[in-house]
Chains A and B, each alone.
Chain A
Amino acid sequence: MNPAAFYPTATDYLRFLPELILTIGGVLLLVLEALTGDNKDKSSLGYLAIAVVLGAMFAVPVALANPGTSFNGMIVSDGFAAFFRMVTLLVGLFTLLCSTSYLSREKANTGEFYLLVLFSLAGQGIMAASNELIMVFLGLEIASISSYVLAGFLRDDKRGSEAALKYFLLGSFATAFLLYGISWIYGVTGATNLVAIRESLAAGTSGNSMAVAAAALMLIGLAFKVSAAPFQAWAPDVYQGAPAPVSGFLSAGPKAAAFAIFLRIFQTSFESFSSRYEPVLWILALATMLVGNFSALWQSNVKRMLAYSSIAHAGYVLVAVTTNSNVGTAAAMFYLAAYALMNFGAFAAVTHLAGRGESHVTIDDLKGLASKQPVVAGLLTVCLLSLTGVPLTAGFFGKFYIFKAAIDNHLYWLSALGLLNSAIAAYYYLRILAAMYMHEPKTTDHPEPVPGGIQLTMWFSAAGILTLGVFPGLVLDYANRFATFVK
């Protein structure tokens, strides 16, 4: 073929604009970090990174205005991709807002943190927009490798280093499964493009049982990334050991991006044998909800509890994935957006309350918070109520749409068991509320003022939770419109 056919056009770049901005911004930050010298507080680089993320957010509508595939079908710009780009960028923005003060407090405010966040966001954007298994792998690795370093960013912290090492080893292990699945698929169909794989499998010319085995391998790899049981073991240790803003980042951003490729691969390429993997997803969803919720009941460390709660929430999203329908996809999209707000809101509060060296992260440390810092306690309450799924919050509508989609698709048992699970979950969220409002403070020392970035994050997520709790249509209409994939 004429190589000129491979040259990208200007539109190709426009469809890829958010990731381009993030990459260029990250490289720029790397240069600035090297040139500004050692042992200084690099908050200014953090503000620059925030500007880069905002720029990428403005580029998302530009990419959406030019729908279609670019770079010979490697990347696709559609509403689904734009949605997940926006969710991951929002999580990235929150992370950066919370990190500047956190890193200054821990005396580790260097530019590398910010550029790693930018690179990870670029990887997540590629995941959201990838239309090709090689791009899926590349995006996943870019996002993951940056996350491994972020998890161990406080080098002198033993827990952080342990978290980074565990995350790295298990993450690479999971990626190996995914990659093995990709190579099987290539062997069976001779294609890595998602649409081409779908056509090859639907035509029935290639061995379908081998394709099922490949799908199973890829399912294992993706289940690791979204921390679905029984592949969830890394999540609690990593979220507990990593710096608090990073835990929030990991539990919301990469997870949303991993669900994006999960939905895209399984509903585009493997749709022809959806009846084969539906029971597997059914068990996976139930196991994830049960393991997450029952383990969270016994935790005394707030970060670890939120880690188990994030596993449970992955289980709810898996219920939506199990429905294998457009309604289910829309419900999953809505839930992941709502989850990003409420989970990061909670982690932002933990970031502030943990104190230097993260020495105050148990539920006991939250006792009497309502009388000491009523605003923080109030905003955290909104996030926790939303995580519980109380009406008038985004979490309620998230669960509502997921279980409605499940019932519409005749998954009655899974819906019933899922609802029971969210009732169990109420216990451990309410335990924190009880500690904050119904106990006397342990100490009488004056609370530190809440840094501006953390305040902004908490107010924004609480406002978002309540807005979506009253007007869920704002996001759901969009999700419904773009829940179909190009086939």
Chain B
Amino acid sequence: MLEGYLPLFVFLVLCIAFPLAALLVGKALRPSVFAPAKLESYECGIEAVGGARGRYSVRFYLVAILFVIFDVETVFLFPWAVRYKQLGWFGVAEALVFLGILVVGYVWAYKKGALEWV
């Protein structure tokens, strides 16, 4: 049974070896220069302004979560689409129930103003 995992094991070893090799070779080849400019976020680009830990509006999260809901929805609809003919009207009804529950949640989010961008 375990022989079946041999390619996976080889793959795992390669996965670990390759980035290690890349880092080591890079370290051996590159010149080491220490200058303040080296520590900047964008060495050759525009100068960074402000910190990276600023606060964002919570609305980004709302939109992201709404997106996730409808993203996951498709995960459930794909298997139904594959077996559409065999499942027939029963499948359609079940999919509609599923979508109906999601729409209720969407209506709730809309009414609560989750989509308003002030």
A residues lining the B interface (CB < 8 Å): 3, 7, 27, 30-31, 33-35, 38
Please tell me if the beta carbons of B87 and A31 are within 8 angstroms of each other in the complex.
Answer: no
The answer to the question of B101 belonging to the interface, with a C-beta cut-off of 8 Å to chain A, is: yes
Q: Are B104 and A30 in contact (CB under 8 A)?
A: yes
The answer on a CB contact under 8 Å between B87 and A34 is no
* Residues of chain B with a CB closer than 8 A to A38's CB: 112
Question: A3 is contacted by which of B86, B107, B111 (Cβ under 8 Å)?
Answer: B86
B107 touches A34 (CB 8 A): yes
* B:88-112 near A, CB below 8 Å: 88, 90, 101, 104-105, 107-108, 110-112
A316 to B104, CA, bound (A): 43
Taken together as a complex, chains A and B put the C-alpha atoms of A123 and B104 apart, in Å, by 19
Complex Cα gap A69–B44 (Å):
67
Indicate if the CB atoms of B107 and A31 lie closer than 8 Å: yes
Beta-carbon contact of A31 and B108 below 8 Å: yes
B27 contacts partner chain A, Cβ-Cβ < 8 Å: no
Contact A3 B87 (CB under 8 A): yes
- Closest residue of B by beta carbon distance from A3: B86
When the two chains form their complex, are residues A34 and B101 in contact, meaning their CB atoms are under 8 A apart?
A: no
B112–A34 CB distance below 8 A: yes
Chain B residues whose C-beta falls within 8 Å of the C-beta of A27 in the assembled complex: 101, 104
What's the Cα separation between A31 and B110 when bound, in Å?
11
Of A3, A7, A31, which one neighbours B104 at CB under 8 angstroms? A31
Q: Are B111 and A34 in contact (CB under 8 A)?
A: yes
Q: Is the CB of A30 within 8 A of B108?
A: yes
Known: A27-B104, A30-B104. 4 other contacts (CB 8 A): A31-B107, A33-B108, A34-B108, A38-B112
Q: Quick check: is B83 within 8 A (CB to CB) of the other chain?
A: yes
10 examples of A-B residue contacts, CB within 8 angstroms: A3-B86, A3-B88, A27-B104, A30-B105, A30-B108, A31-B107, A34-B108, A34-B111, A35-B111, A38-B112
CB within 8 Å of A: which of B49-80?
none
Residues of B within 8 A of A3 (CB): 83, 86-88
Chain A residues, Cβ within 8 Å of B110: 34
Contacts of B112 in A (CB 8 A): 34, 38
Kindly report which residue of chain B lies nearest to residue A115, judged by CB atoms. Answer: B108
Cα separation A34 to B111 with both chains bound (whole Å): 6
Assembly CA distance A305 to B86 (angstroms)? 57
Q: Considering the chains assembled together, what is the distance between the CA atoms of A414 and B101 in angstroms?
A: 49
B73 to chain A, nearest CB (A): 16
Q: Within 8 Å CB of A30, what residues of B? A: 104-105, 108
- Closest approach, in angstroms, between the C-beta of B93 and any C-beta of chain A? 10
State in angstroms the CA–CA spacing of A159 and B44 once bound together: 46
Taking the closest CB of chain B, its distance from the CB of A377, in whole angstroms, is: 42
Task: Tell me, in angstroms, the Cα distance from A35 to B87 when the chains sit together.
Answer: 35
Please, which residue of chain B has its CB at the minimum distance from the CB of A8?
A: B90
B87 partner residues in chain A, CB cutoff 8 A: 3
Closest chain-B Cβ to A137's Cβ sits at a distance in Å of 16
Task: Quote the shortest CB–CB distance from A71 to chain B (angstroms).
Answer: 12
B105 touches A7 (CB 8 A): no
In this complex, what residue of A is CB-closest to B87?
A3
Docked pose: A27 CA to B98 CA in angstroms: 12
CA distance A33 to B112 in the complex (A): 9
Whole-angstrom distance between the alpha carbons of A31 and B88 in the complex? 30
Task: State A3–B105 Cα separation when bound (angstroms).
Answer: 30
**CA distance in complex: A38, B105 (Å):** 16
Give CA–CA (A30, B87) in the complex, Å.
30
Q: How far is the CA of A348 from the CA of B16 in the complex (A)?
A: 56
CA gap between A462 and B105 in the complex, in Å: 39
User: Which residues from chain A contact B86 at a C-beta distance below 8 Å?
Assistant: 3
Taking the closest CB of chain A, its distance from the CB of B91, in whole angstroms, is 8
Min C-beta distance of B97 to chain A, whole Å: 10
Chain B neighbourhood of A34, CB < 8 A = 107-108, 110-112
Contact A7 B108 (CB under 8 A): no
Q: Which residues of B contact A35 (CB under 8 A)?
A: 111
Q: How far is the CB of B76 from chain A (nearest CB, A)?
A: 13
Cα(A14)–Cα(B55), bound, Å: 51
Which 3 A-B pairs give the minimum distances between C-beta atoms?
Answer: A34-B111, A3-B86, A34-B108
Give, as a whole number of angstroms, the nearest-CB distance from A309 to chain B: 36
Q: Which residues of chain B have C-beta atoms less than 8 A from A33's C-beta?
A: 108
A37 to nearest B CB, angstroms? Answer: 9
CA distance A35 to B107 in the complex (A): 9
Say how far B20's CB is from chain A's closest CB, in angstroms: 28
A7-B107 contact given A27-B101, A34-B112, CB 8 Å threshold: no
The closest CB in chain B to the CB of A37 belongs to B111
Residues of B within 8 A of A7 (CB): 90
Residue of B nearest to A2 (CB): B86
CB distance from A24 to the nearest CB of B (A): 10
A90 to B88, CA, bound (A): 40
Q: How long is the Cα–Cα vector from A7 to B90 in the complex, in angstroms?
A: 8
A64 vs B46: C-alpha distance when bound (angstroms): 70
Q: Which residues of A contact B111 (CB under 8 A)?
A: 34-35
CA distance A30 to B103 in the complex (A): 11
CB B118 to nearest CB in A, in angstroms, measures 15
Q: Give the chain A neighbours of B104 by CB distance below 8 A.
A: 27, 30-31
Q: Please give me the residue from chain B that is nearest to A23 by CB atom.
A: B101
Q: Which residue of B lies closest to A31 (CB)?
A: B104
Complex alpha-carbon distance, A388 and B91, angstroms: 54
Please name all residues of chain A whose beta carbon is closer than 8 Å to the beta carbon of B88 when the two chains form the complex.
3
B101 to chain A, nearest CB (A): 6
